[in-house]
Amino acid sequence: MRWSWRIGRLAGIDLFVHWTFLLLVFWFLLLPLLEARGREQVTDVVVNFLFVLAIFACVVLHELGHALTARHYGIRTRDITLLPIGGLARLERMPDDPTQELWVALAGPAVNVVIAGLLFITLAVAGRIGASDWDFIHVRMVNFLNKLMTANVILVLFNLIPAFPMDGGRVLRALLARKMDYMKATQMAASIGQALAIVLGIVGMLYNPFLLFIAIFVYLGAGSEASMVETRRALQGVPVQYAMMTRFQTLSPADPLARAAQELMAGAQHDFPVVENGRVVGMLVRDDLFKALQSQTDTASVESVMRRDCPIVSQNDILETVFRRMQEQGCSSLPVVSGERLVGIVTLENVGELMILRQARQHTQKTPAASS
């Protein structure tokens, strides 16, 4: 995710923090510290900040639950990013098997259930320990753990709301997909989620504006999930050659960035296959070119900037599979070959245009011609 900083690695997964998370730090620590008067108030501020960090540690463990369960089914997790509204584990894909999707979706809330259970046991033990001279610390510790336990219970309930993009929406779809088509299950789960969002929005307008924010988040998330699955379904059985760009320019690894900039300005092509001795060796992506020109000279070589991790696809590959690979690898464009010969480029924009054309043709076929 853009504007994120890597802060570590957990279970082989990179952990990032988004810059907006710093706003939370400012809100819960720096701002109250500036307004605090006296030692006790400063202590309260620090305790509250530690509580926020504990919550986000629970969120990271929640996302790690999803990631490790997905790994069990052979699905890699790109990274986990901390945001002010929670965490985001970017899986390469969700499992196609509804049962596997069910377990992956439930794994996150299950982690919070375990955390809440352990905290409950800890509080039960702490309640039997005599505080004696440690009353002040004892009370603060019990309050801290009690709030943390309650927060984990809330996280479980919130994530199990049966609406995308929460875990509950995926649980609902997985259960429905056991008895019906996956696309129909997604549409039904999305409709249920959007109906729930409308109810939350009405309640939010009457009682709590924060619920209105959640309602908008849920409504848009449900629509986005349904649209994504519909796109994948529409691309089933369609070869890449029907969506690829056949008029394109290529670059050589030794070409200077100045030439790449000229080609970029000369046409509508954004990304360029890099070819050496008739073989594709990489892709030069527009965003990478812009970044390179900010830090390097125009005479720097294309080879120093090009991406080597974007896969090469065949013109006979199915678009649904290629579309998924583009998302998994984070590549907006892929070179297309016939044998070893470069014959085109497929981009996310091409895929979108093909979808629009197919929908337009289907509409024309369904609409009867006007009688004279």
The stretch 295-307 carries a mean pLDDT of 84
The stretch 278-301 carries a mean pLDDT of 85
pLDDT, one tens digit per residue, over 16-29 is 887 766 666 666 66
The answer to whether the CB of 116 falls within 8 A of the CB of 55 is no
pLDDT of residue 370: 45
Instruction: Identify the CATH number of the domain defined by range 240-358.
Output: 3.10.580.10
Banded pLDDT at 112 (limits 50, 70, 90)? very high
Q: How many CB atoms within 10 Å of residue 112? A: 24
Which of 163, 160, 122 lies closest to 143, judged by CA?
Answer: 122
Q: What residue spans define the domains of the chain?
A: 1-160, 164-234, 240-358
Banded pLDDT at 147 (limits 50, 70, 90)? confident
Hey, which residues does 68 pair with through a beta bridge? none
The stretch 111-115 carries a mean pLDDT of 94
Higher per-residue pLDDT: 196 or 118? 118
CA distance 125 to 214: 37
Q: What percent of the chain lies above the pLDDT cut of 70?
A: 81
The stretch 59-87 carries a mean pLDDT of 84
The stretch 168-181 carries a mean pLDDT of 86
3-state secondary structure the chain: CCCEEEEEEECCEEEEEECCHHHHHHHHHHHHHHHCCCHHHHHHHHHHHHHHHHHHHHHHHHHHHHHHHHHHCCCCEEEEEEECCEEEEEECCCCCCHHHHHHHHHHHHHHHHHHHHHHHHHHHHHHHCCCHHHHHHHHHHHHHHHHHHHHHHHHHHHHCCCCCCCHHHHHHHHHHHCCCCHHHHHHHHHHHHHHHHHHHHHHHHHCCHHHHHHHHHHHHHHHHHHHHHHHHHHCCCCEHHHCCECCCCCECCCCEHHHHHHHHHHCCCCCEEEEECCEEEEEECHHHHHHHHHHCCCCCEHHHCCECCCCCEECCCEHHHHHHHHHHHCCCEEEEEECCEEEEEEEHHHHHHHHHHHHHHHHHHHCCCCCC
pLDDT surpasses 90 at 110? yes
Q: Dig out the tokens for 13 from the structure.
A: 């997964």
pLDDT of residue 191: 84
The stretch 338-345 carries a mean pLDDT of 87
Phi, psi of 271 (to 5 degrees): -120, 150
Higher per-residue pLDDT: 285 or 225? 285
pLDDT of residue 372: 36
136-140, 156-160, 217-221: range with highest mean pLDDT: 156-160
Q: Which residue has the tokens 């696309």?
A: 183
The stretch 288-300 carries a mean pLDDT of 83
Q: Taking the CA of residue 46 as centre, how many other CA atoms within 13 Å lie in the half-sphere pointing to its CB?
A: 7
The rounded mean pLDDT for the chain is: 80
pLDDT of residue 118: 93
Reported pTM: 0.65
Burial class (CB in 10 A: 0-12, 13-18, 19+), 361: exposed
pLDDT surpasses 90 at 111? yes
Which distant-in-sequence residues (6+ apart) come within 8 Å of 234 by Cβ?
355, 358
Which of 259, 273, 181, 191 lies closest to 226, judged by CA?
Answer: 191
Q: Dig out the tokens for 48 from the structure.
A: 């509250």
The answer to whether the CB of 336 falls within 8 A of the CB of 313 is yes
pLDDT of residue 355: 74
pLDDT of residue 133: 44
Q: Dig out the tokens for 138 from the structure.
A: 């004892």
CA distance 152 to 157: 9
